Amino acid sequence: MLDWRWDFTLDILPRLLVATGNTLLAAGLGYAIAIVLGLVLALAQRTPSRAFTMIVREMVEFIRSTPLVLQIFFVFYVAPQFGIRLSPWTAGMIAIGLHYAAYLSEVYRGGLDSVPKGQWEAATSLNLSTARTYFRVIIPQAMPPSLAGMGNYLVGILKDTPMLSVIGVAELMHTANAIGSETYRFLEPYTMVGVIFLALSLPTAAAIRLFEAWLRRKLGMI
């Protein structure tokens, strides 16, 4: 019953590998945006203004509880309505970066809250400025407890990149679709996409666990 063709698999492999490069690039870029923007969203919820905090909180909730694929469409199609033409890559990176920024902001929030109050008091007693206190004292200590969550979302963003295919970003899924519609063979391309994702995400998850353990030792924490 199984009509698996190895020669065909070998034929399409180079195309799939090139697309894998794009998948990794998309995940990396999106994650870089999310890491920075997520921190901004987390810090924005710590301002003295309660109203501002509430607005940012609700915005994060909104992004977290609506489908990424819909957000991708939204960014890609709505921006031109306002005269901004975005390439699929740009729109995709904005959408996926923002989506994961919302998730990461929650991770950071937990990390920031876990820093003992005494650290703030020590920083005050040394007269450190608020910015200095955040960047030298609080954020470095908020990072190690955030790493597990950050790692999970790195794997998460990698697995969500196939959604970028819907607006034509030439990553793995998009390429597999193209191969399928050219050759009418779906078994090999879709199966290979699955295998490649497994080959990427399982070692990444394992590496993240090792990195986390190493960093904790390195920072002289438990």
What does the binding site for other proteins look like in residue numbers (CB under 8 A)?
1-3, 61-62, 64-71, 73-74, 77-78, 80-81, 116, 118-119, 121-122, 124-129, 132, 136-137, 140-141, 159-163, 165-166, 173, 176-177, 180, 186-187, 190-191, 193-194, 197-198, 201-202, 205, 219-222
Cβ atoms of residues 30 and 97 within 8 Å: yes
Residue whose CB is less far from other proteins, 21 or 194 = 194
Hey, CA dihedral for 140, 145, 147, 149, is it positive or negative? negative
Residue whose CB is less far from other proteins, 27 or 33 = 27
Distance between CA 24 and CA 21 in Å, rounded?
A: 5
Distance between CA 106 and CA 124 in Å, rounded?
A: 26
Shortest approach of other proteins to residue 25 CB, angstroms?
Answer: 16
Residue whose CB is less far from other proteins, 106 or 150 = 106
Residue whose CB is less far from other proteins, 22 or 71 = 71
Shortest approach of other proteins to residue 156 CB, angstroms?
Answer: 10
Residue whose CB is less far from other proteins, 14 or 220 = 220
CA 196 to chain centre: 18
Q: How many residues would you count in the chain? A: 222
Shortest approach of other proteins to residue 132 CB, angstroms?
Answer: 6
Shortest approach of other proteins to residue 113 CB, angstroms?
Answer: 16
Shortest approach of other proteins to residue 218 CB, angstroms?
Answer: 10
Residue for token digits 């030792």?
Answer: 217
Residue for token digits 């607006």?
Answer: 167
Residue whose CB is less far from other proteins, 21 or 80 = 80
Following DSSP, what letter does each residue of 58-124 receive, concatenated? Answer: HHHHHHHTS-HHHHHHHHHHHHHHTT----HHHHHHHHHHHHHHHHHHHHHHHHHHTS-HHHHHHHH
Residue for token digits 């998850």?
Answer: 205
Shortest approach of other proteins to residue 99 CB, angstroms?
Answer: 10
